Amino acid sequence: MSQLSDIQIRRKKALFRAQRRGFKELDLIFGAFADAHLMSLEEPELGRFEALLSVPDPQMFDWVMGHAAVPHAYDHEVFARLCAYRKDLSS
């Protein structure tokens, strides 16, 4: 039986969290994004994704939908990819 690396464990935890945020719309967006992109995220991007998972749901929903400005600390390429993916889902 092979051991999982630290990044593999983090990816598995992030996938679980992305699919079960508790806010249905975000579960769908984050879960679909994670299914499509999580395994290709390298450590720095994975850290940014994990940070996004820690943001409270109402706040994150407003950011993703463009209803509120995204703080500089969260306005990075992973968030941009997530928003682009959300737009593709709704097309």
pLDDT single digits (tens) 14-68:
999 999 998 999 999 999 999 999 999 999 999 999 999 999 999 999 999 999 9
pLDDT at residue 89, as a whole number: 78
**Residue 1's pLDDT band (cuts 50, 70, 90):** low
Planar angle of CA 69, 60, 82, nearest 5 degrees: 90
pLDDT at residue 4, as a whole number: 82
pLDDT at residue 90, as a whole number: 72
pLDDT at residue 87, as a whole number: 86
Going along the chain from its start, the domains and CATH numbers come out as: 6-90 (1.10.150.250)
Q: Are 27 and 21 in contact (CB under 8 A)?
A: yes
